[in-house]
Structure 1
Amino acid sequence: MPIPEQNTAWPPAPWDEAYKAYALNEAWQLGDTATLERLYSSDRQAAATHTHRGQAYRGGLVGAASKMFWGRPVPANENRTRIHVPAPADLATLSSDLVFAEPPEVSLGTDSTEKGKARLDLIANSEAAHATWNTMGELKAALGATVITSAWDTDVADHVWLEVAAADVVIPVFRRGVMVECTMWTEYREDRTQVVYRHLEHHEVGAIEHALFRGTETNLGRRVPLQDRPETAGLAGLVNEDSRILTGIDRLTCSYNPNMPTRAWRKKGVLANTGRSDYAGLHGLFDALDETFSSWMRDLRQGAGRILVPDAMLDYLGPGMGAAFDMGREVFAGLNSPGKPGELMIDKVQFEIRVEQHERTAFALYREILRAAGYSQSAWGDYSGGGQGGTQTATEVDDRNKASERTRDKKILYDRAAISRQASVALELDGKLFPGKGGGRFEQPTVIFPDVSQEDPEKLARTLSLLDAAGAISLWEKVARANPDWGEDEIKAEVGRIREDRGTAPDPATFDGDDEDPEDPEDA
């Protein structure tokens, strides 16, 4: 989609449908209960106005949304307990941690230059890049997709870097499932007015066009000079007469990175190529979890002990001031019930706090959320005690943990392709913008993710011990498996130290790191 015409609806169809879903997912991720109430209440009102033969529709998204906990109206003057549990945010964080807690390594082939490798490290292997990947992991898990963009500013850094935009600020154009252009946008709002400025950044092969519009909440409005906003004024001196910045390369400066293949929109034209959020199909479970904890807290509030006393026990404070009860007073008069002189009119109220029932319900919802999202039940702690019972073997526990690893492997397929493609573009741009520093066009980089993110040290130790007992692993490989981030020199040095401690050190003049000596008792 090129830069739209003036005074067109925003967001443009059919992306207006997608953006409603993005807004709902964002509200769940942020725990924005005010937005959740507004979105579900508006759906409830829509359900009331959409009728068939005089009857409100019961099925479909609108009918279902109107029954949600966050969509139910609260009567006036009623203090109803409502609590949000940040399970959606935790789910997005879990996804990012599984994939990017240990960063991937982006590397060039052996025929590349050392300067080229050093520039790629700045672009894709630095701590800043690692932070970007963590952000990307959370955004695409919550919203369904992200776009990786090559960015530069000679006043900020002397190299190109990679940025990430979430799906709710991107309108992509796909051809045969591949993004061939896209428009990203940012909003700026004027205080105490209905005016909305939108900066549109259109990426196409060889150029990036910038445009600024002054409109309203739902209308793009008219195009105005970039100088009209301080945030975009700096671009005015960089664009040409067509408001474009020419990149000098024949590739797109952004790459689409879906979270998972879409389900709901697979028959809806351009939306079929968008990604699927981890929240897909889970809104009802999130809502039920919030209702469960809200009910639990309501029990806690109502379970506070209260006493009922007759008026004679109250000390009146004066006209319009009400009355008070003195808990320290020792003598009271006139407390007998009429007709029952031996019975005092004092009672207590103590409602039951249903801790076990609420806890088991919450645990069941947690387990179902994790299962439906494709993660292991133990990902948030072991909730299997909420009713399953029994002792599980190590093999059963390991099988339960496989779900998270399978989901991680599927997500990495998309991450690897998008990171590799845009790292290559960024490196080529780097060579154009900063000549002589090592960037340029090289072969496509490879992206290698660790086998298992943050492998359990105890599990790893047992695995290595079993392999060692079976004579199926060398000392070199044991050190490498225990320290996956070490290079060959570090592994070789550690193997030498272990041999020295054991009294099996080989001749330093002939030791080359190959740990396959059949006479070594430690490796037999």
Structure 2
Amino acid sequence: MGWFKNMVMKMLRINPAVENRVITITEPFSYGTNVLRNRLWYRGDPSELDQFHKQAAADAVSRSRFWAAVPSADLGIRKIHTGLPALIADKLSDIVIADMDSIELQTEAVNVTWEEIAEDNDFPELLGGAITDALVAGDGAFKLTVDTAITPYPIIEFYSGDQVEYKRQRGRLQEVVFYTDYRQRDKDYRLVETFGRGYIKYQLLDAYGKEVPLTMVPETAELADVTYSGDWIMALPLMFFKSPKWKGRGKSIFEGKADSFDALDEVVSQWLDAIRSGRVQKYIPEDLIPRNPDTGATMRPNPFDNQFIKVGSTLAEDAKSQISMIQPQILYEAFVESYASALDMCLQGIVSPATLGIDLKKTDNAEAQREKEKATLYTRGKLVERLNEVIPQVVATALMVFDTLNGRAAGLYEPSVKFGEYASPSFDSVVETVGKARTFGVMSIERAVEEMYGDTWTDEEKAEEVARLKAESSGMLTDEPGTRDDPPDDELDDE
């Protein structure tokens, strides 16, 4: 058989792959265009989505998408947007903000100062908007500035990722650059604010990128470079996920879901188009077509309230001119299944349908509902983990800016933020679980009280409850049996 093997090897010639073959791939969107697309998904305006996808369709994949398709008919198919992207981002932001219990600092005086700064900036509302912007755009940055003409406290603002750039050295943040666009006398200007360690620099650029005086725009006329003592920056980036495309930038929560959102909108649009086309069709002979009472001309059909199809009149002897009505069958089950599948693709790995109030059956008990929330819990955990790092830094920086504003050396602050639990079990379930643990002797009274009441009770209330339970368990609060003061036996004998 050796000769046969050699013959086969001679007949089968295998050429090795070329190692230096160059494969060129062109990215369909730049960073700014990608952020714009994600922002349009969040805005949810069908007209804007249609315009963007038609103008941005530069390759075969983009042109084949539903939002980029150009119908052949005059009116075409009605394109409907479900609004799901905005619902996802807003709901995740609301969940995180609702679970943020408190921000604590070392002393009561510092706590009071921070509460005044937070109230002046409406910090919970600002933080909720920052979370939403970071989820949509991919990242962003907090900017802290001072304007004593407006407020005696530091001003906290959040800039979205398309208005921010980061300059790092060996992975360490060195500068945060903010961009603000102005239009003055039909000319475009861009303010470039560079926040570095111990300084803030301002530049005003015209439409050609040339630096011009800050006085060209009234809003920037009074700005001047600032220096302050300390090796810290009056700006802090916020990023939840890292982008695989752009180094040092964040990834939007919509990244990789654009085709799924497009497919969901296509299913819903086709569904509504089938319902519109599936109305009762009227076949009317030509001599029975409704006519305009003023001119006598036949009326044109309307797809909503007066839809009909004209048929020619017959001259047969036994022919009758009558109106025929036919309604096609709409396969609702197929549309519902397609909608459910497309919806699953949109929500996979981000949020549970139950979180958005979708397909949450009334027969599910609390445990089944919590099982459906696991995807939301994972995403929320990622957001909270990052916010546990960023929020204390924002609070500390705001207090340091306040110290600098009042002529004091910037202090060292160690804020801590506390988040509650999401989709926690009901009180009845907690009582049953803790009760079993106490019965088996595997949980102390202190731990049981902590598990039962958590952040809903103060430390003093929990300490009183622990003392009461310990007293009851040792029998100190039980009533002693009554005794009768009977005289001694010798006294009875004397009587």
Is TM > 0.5 for Structure 1 vs Structure 2? Answer: yes
Alignment of 1:25-44 (within 5 A): 25-44=38-57
Structure 1 partner of 2:19? none
Structure 1 partner of 2:175? 181
Alignment of 1:66-81 (within 5 A): 66-75=63-72, 77-81=74-78
CA 297–231 in structure 1, closer or farther in 2 if over 3 Å, else same: farther
Letter in 2 for 1:20: T
User: Equivalent of 2:166, from 157, 168, 172?
Assistant: 172
Structure 2 partner of 1:309? 284
Conservation of the 8 A alpha-carbon contact between 1:309 and 1:346: yes
Alignment of 1:365-444 (within 5 A): 365-373=342-350, 375-383=351-359, 397-435=369-407, 440-444=410-414
* Counterparts of 2:145 and 2:101, CA distance in 1: 20
Percentage of identical aligned residues: 21
Structure 2 partner of 1:245? 226
Structure 1 partner of 2:190? 198
Conservation of the 8 A alpha-carbon contact between 2:102 and 2:417: yes
Letter in 1 for 2:252: S
Letter in 2 for 1:164: F
Deviations 1:164-212 (A, max 9, x none): 2111111111234343212111223468x5x322222111111112222
Deviations 1:197-242 (A, max 9, x none): 2222111111112222221xxxx43333323223323xx2x41xxx
* Counterparts of 1:129 and 1:167, CA distance in 2: 20
* Counterparts of 2:166 and 2:46, CA distance in 1: 30
Structure 1 partner of 2:33? 20
Letter in 1 for 2:165: I
SS at match of 2:373: helix
Conservation of the 8 A alpha-carbon contact between 1:136 and 1:164: yes
Conservation of the 8 A alpha-carbon contact between 2:184 and 2:217: no
Conservation of the 8 A alpha-carbon contact between 2:88 and 2:356: no
CA 287–101 in structure 1, closer or farther in 2 if over 3 Å, else same: same
User: Which has the larger displacement, 147-156 or 481-490?
Assistant: 481-490
Structure 2 partner of 1:55? none
Structure 1 partner of 2:61? 64
SS at match of 1:185: strand
Cα offset for 1:151? 2.8
CA 212–486 in structure 1, closer or farther in 2 if over 3 Å, else same: farther
Letter in 1 for 2:204: L
CA 28–157 in structure 1, closer or farther in 2 if over 3 Å, else same: same
Cα offset for 1:479? 7.9
Structure 1 partner of 2:415? 445
Unaligned runs of 5+ in 2: 1-26, 301-311, 478-495
Cα offset for 1:41? 1.9
CA 433–287 in structure 1, closer or farther in 2 if over 3 Å, else same: same
* Counterparts of 2:115 and 2:452, CA distance in 1: 24
Letter in 2 for 1:459: S
Deviations 1:129-166 (A, max 9, x none): 11111111211111111212223322332222432211
Alignment of 1:473-492 (within 5 A): 474=445, 478=449, 481-482=452-453, 484-489=455-460
**1:361 paired to 2:331:** no
Deviations 1:441-476 (A, max 9, x none): 1233222222x23x45x6243223331354257599
Letter in 2 for 1:259: F
Letter in 2 for 1:40: H
* Counterparts of 1:125 and 1:138, CA distance in 2: 20
Deviations 1:383-434 (A, max 9, x none): 377xxxxx87865553332222122112222222222223212111111113
Letter in 2 for 1:429: V
Structure 2 partner of 1:83? 80
Conservation of the 8 A alpha-carbon contact between 1:106 and 1:125: no
Conservation of the 8 A alpha-carbon contact between 1:107 and 1:120: no
Q: Based on CA coordinates, which of the two structures has the bigger radius of gyration?
A: 2
* Counterparts of 1:461 and 1:202, CA distance in 2: 55
CA 25–324 in structure 1, closer or farther in 2 if over 3 Å, else same: closer
Conservation of the 8 A alpha-carbon contact between 1:206 and 1:250: yes
Cα offset for 1:96? 0.7
Conservation of the 8 A alpha-carbon contact between 1:160 and 1:429: yes
Letter in 1 for 2:429: R
Cα offset for 1:81? 0.6
SS at match of 1:84: coil
Alignment of 1:284-323 (within 5 A): 284-314=259-289, 316-317=291-292, 322-323=297-298
Letter in 1 for 2:43: L
RMSD between aligned alpha carbons? 3.5
- State the TM-score, normalizing by the size of structure 1: 0.73
CA 518–91 in structure 1, closer or farther in 2 if over 3 Å, else same: same
Structure 2 partner of 1:97? 94
Conservation of the 8 A alpha-carbon contact between 1:187 and 1:196: yes
CA 351–232 in structure 1, closer or farther in 2 if over 3 Å, else same: farther
* Counterparts of 1:212 and 1:127, CA distance in 2: 27
Conservation of the 8 A alpha-carbon contact between 2:349 and 2:375: no
Cα offset for 1:94? 2.0
SS at match of 1:338: coil
CA 135–305 in structure 1, closer or farther in 2 if over 3 Å, else same: same
* Counterparts of 1:301 and 1:361, CA distance in 2: 18
Conservation of the 8 A alpha-carbon contact between 2:105 and 2:111: yes
Higher relative contact order (CA 8 A, sep 6+): 1
CA 513–151 in structure 1, closer or farther in 2 if over 3 Å, else same: farther
SS at match of 2:77: coil
SS at match of 2:384: helix
Conservation of the 8 A alpha-carbon contact between 2:100 and 2:418: no
Unaligned runs of 5+ in 1: 1-13, 48-62, 266-270, 326-334, 386-390, 496-511
SS at match of 1:70: coil
SS at match of 1:484: helix
* Counterparts of 2:433 and 2:262, CA distance in 1: 46
Structure 2 partner of 1:464? 431
* Counterparts of 1:350 and 1:128, CA distance in 2: 57
Aligned length: 435
Conservation of the 8 A alpha-carbon contact between 1:428 and 1:441: yes
CA 314–282 in structure 1, closer or farther in 2 if over 3 Å, else same: same
